[in-house]
Structure 1
Amino acid sequence: MSTSTIGELISLLFMAIALGMDAFSVSLGAGMQKIRLKRIAIVGIVIGLFHMIMPFLGIVVGQAISTRIGDFTTLVGGLVLVGIGTQMLLSAFNHESRQVIHTAGFGLLIFALSVSIDSFSVGLSLGISGVKTALALLMFGAASMVLTWAGMLLGRKVHGLLGVYSEILGGSILFGFGLHIIFG
């Protein structure tokens, strides 16, 4: 392996971890709800797939449209997380025991889309840079899947320690992360 290939692998690994950190943060908040281990595994896989699909779509769309769309997708992703976080905070004070982030069906797709939408804009730039696309997509998917699992499992442990306050903490994490995405 040449030095340039190793350098490219290392930079792709760091990029994959950076892209997966939003999935970790959001999954930390989501894991504070009562979610079974089987569902956590499925959520991680779906988010990993979305972290492969979104950059791929970004590559395809990036060849046809200007890069201005990247700012719009980031804003939408941030607004979705702020909305979910707000809903979690409000339901914590509403004293109703219900799951705010739905980790099955359409809710899972919206959840996965909200944490992977920023990778769409990364895909826009990947198509231009000439990076090994298949390797990058696999690394993005694997890193986000593992980080999602780690976040949800850690959130699950914190829920056991904090009890009813875990939903407030989880909602605050999602809300704050959404604001961070919007305002950078």
Structure 2
Amino acid sequence: MPELGQLLTVSMLAVALAMDAFSLGLALGTRQLTLRRMLFVCLLVGAFHVVMPFLGMLIGSVLSHAMKGIATLVGGGVLCFLGAKMIWQEPDETIQLHTLGQMILLTITVSLDSLSAGLSLGLFATDQGLALLLFGLSSALLTAMGISIGRLAGFWLGHYGETFGGILLIVLGMKFIW
């Protein structure tokens, strides 16, 4: 049984890492995803928020500094690209979530910071199973919340909803880059 302090610390880290997933959810919500697609994206984001820190824990502290810089730059660049694509292309040609590969690419981009967190967690005496569980649950739930709020924003913003979602992705991507 983990200590209360450890539980609170890992919970706060899980929510902080899941905020990127929430932002992604806001952007995707403007796309008016079907319930089935929404659930699948949430589960996929949650799964990658478990897999990426687990991989980070396995890699260990040796590569921690090098991987963090590369992972965040790549993730930020991909999100900026996808956001720009949402803004400047016709609605039919924007981010497609029709294939598993497209969904995996998008969810990996918001999970890359979890890889770095996993590298860091590998250095501490933390209940890693609990951390992974909290990372997955919080990211899946915050993605669902983001999609739900994004649906409302998309409805209120009308055809500007796609632009709003694109701007959110660019801001998220820039956060990774800087």
Q: TM class by shorter-chain length?
A: over 0.9
Q: Distance in 2 between matches of 1:153 and 1:126?
A: 31
Q: Give the superposition deviation at 1:124.
A: 0.5
- Residue of structure 1 in register with 2:134 after alignment: 139
Whether contact under 8 Å (2:45, 2:111) holds in the other structure is yes
- Residue of structure 2 in register with 1:16 after alignment: 14
For residue 146 of structure 1, what is the amino acid of its counterpart? Answer: L
Q: Give the superposition deviation at 1:48.
A: 0.2
TM-score by length of 2: 0.94
Q: Give the superposition deviation at 1:176.
A: 1.1
TM-score by length of 1: 0.91
Aligned partner (choices 115, 123, 139) of residue 118 of structure 2: 123
- Residue of structure 2 in register with 1:78 after alignment: 76
Whether contact under 8 Å (2:85, 2:94) holds in the other structure is no
* 1:137-166 CA distance string (max 9 Å, x none): 000000000000000111111111111000
Task: Indicate whether 1:43 and 2:41 are aligned.
Answer: yes
Structure 2, unmatched stretches of 5+, are none
For residue 46 of structure 1, what is the amino acid of its counterpart? Answer: L
Q: Distance in 1 between matches of 2:93 and 2:21?
A: 22
Figure out how many residues of one structure are paired with residues of the other and give that number.
178
Task: Indicate whether 1:162 and 2:157 are aligned.
Answer: yes
- Residue of structure 2 in register with 1:87 after alignment: 85
Q: Distance in 2 between matches of 1:177 and 1:103?
A: 23
* 1:13-41 CA distance string (max 9 Å, x none): 10000000000011101110121011101
Structure 1, unmatched stretches of 5+, are none
Of 68-77 and 45-54, more deviation after overlay is shown by 68-77
Q: Distance in 1 between matches of 2:142 and 2:64?
A: 31
Aligned partner (choices 50, 53, 77) of residue 51 of structure 2: 53
Task: Indicate whether 1:182 and 2:157 are aligned.
Answer: no
For residue 70 of structure 2, what is the amino acid of its counterpart? Answer: F
How large is the RMSD of aligned CA atoms in angstroms?
1.5
Q: 1:101 to 1:25 in 2, by over 3 A?
A: farther
Whether contact under 8 Å (1:84, 1:101) holds in the other structure is no
Of 67-76 and 134-143, more deviation after overlay is shown by 67-76
* 1:109-138 CA distance string (max 9 Å, x none): 001101101100001110011211000000
Percent sequence identity is 37
SS at match of 1:68: helix
SS at match of 1:129: coil
For residue 73 of structure 1, what is the amino acid of its counterpart? Answer: A
Q: Distance in 1 between matches of 2:98 and 2:58?
A: 28
